[in-house]
Amino acid sequence: MEKAAYMKTFFDSMVLPYRCQGDITVEKGKWYVVNTRFGEDIAYSMSGVTEISLEILHRYFHKHENHVPQAQQVEGIEVDDKSILETKQEHAPVEIENLFVIREATSQEVSEWQALRKEAGEAYNLALKEIRDLQLDMKLINVHFLMGRKKVIFNFTSDNRVDFRQLVKRLAALFRTRIEMRQIGVRDAAKIEGGCGICGIELCCTRSNCHMSSIYLKMAKDQGFLVNSSKLTGVCGRLLCCLAYEVDFYQQEKGFYPDVGSRVRVGNLAYRVMSVNLLRKEVVIVDENHHMRKVAPHELKKMTDKEGVYYQLVAVPGEDMKR
């Protein structure tokens, strides 16, 4: 177990657990000086000190490796726009050892840092002008000054590698401090820029720490969605983060249901599984005359014969068999 507090930083709008060493105390809703992977900066506390298991920390700082190979992830799925599939790593792994709370920030430090945030708006316009002058193929997302103006971070997106050496020289001459150019993914850019999703509310990635792992088309298929890129993509152009919210439930529940197309016998009558509804706990079966009926998954017993696996509709103790 590690003592940590959830802190929000503003160069990436992420909320991550920062270790609390020694007897340091953290109160929710206050400003603190923290050590980030880029150096010291001001962060806003989203919680007090809490004990976090190493397993949870692993989820935050490492991408999940228990996914199936890419060839299987899109098997049987056709999409017109291949750009919705992730080709870049989103959220590069962060070492937890680099993130820790140093102390509570003074009112003067907070005021100076907030003044730097205003200056960042002007810096954005200046950098944008330089990018256009150099005709660089990149989209500038935001500019962030670290505490004390020790470094200025420029987050940008691009479909290609960008030679920004001349840009860095110009920016260093303008701001007279260390310059760091960060090429980020479109998901990270959406999180920083914010906005509303197709559901009409604030983007999930802006108000939470979603998409820490990649999102796959198989997640949509497992949940019974029609795989249509126009319905499954967010404002970032990638697959919706919310596809990952309930996928574990669907994958676990699917084990209790027959596959679509499976054979089902009801007495001497032959049926096929037409569809399953995990939320309603229903299996829809249909006979050769297209007569449909609904049964519960626990009413189906798995059997085998010379043709392979089939399911038999059985009477549940204490219940009459549905007719």
- Tokens 């919706």: give the residue: 240
Query: What's the rounded mean pLDDT across residues 277-298?
Result: 93
For residue 138, pLDDT over 70 is answered with yes
Highest mean pLDDT among 49-53, 245-249, 297-301: 297-301
Provide the percentage of residues in the chain whose pLDDT is more than 70: 82
Amino acid at 249: F
- Are 278 and 251 a contacting pair, CB within 8 Å? no
* Rounded Cα distance, 90 and 120, in Å: 24
Element (H, E) at 275: strand 269-277
Structure-token pair, residue 23:
């007897």
Domain definitions of the chain by residue range: 257-313
pLDDT in tens, 95-135: 666 889 999 999 999 999 999 999 999 999 999 999 999 99
**Residue 59 has what pLDDT?**
66
Q: Work out the pLDDT band at 62, boundaries 50, 70, 90.
A: low
Q: What DSSP string runs through 20-86?
A: --TT----TT-EEEEEETTEEEEEEESS--EEE-HHHHHHHHS----PPPHHHHTTT---S-GGGS-
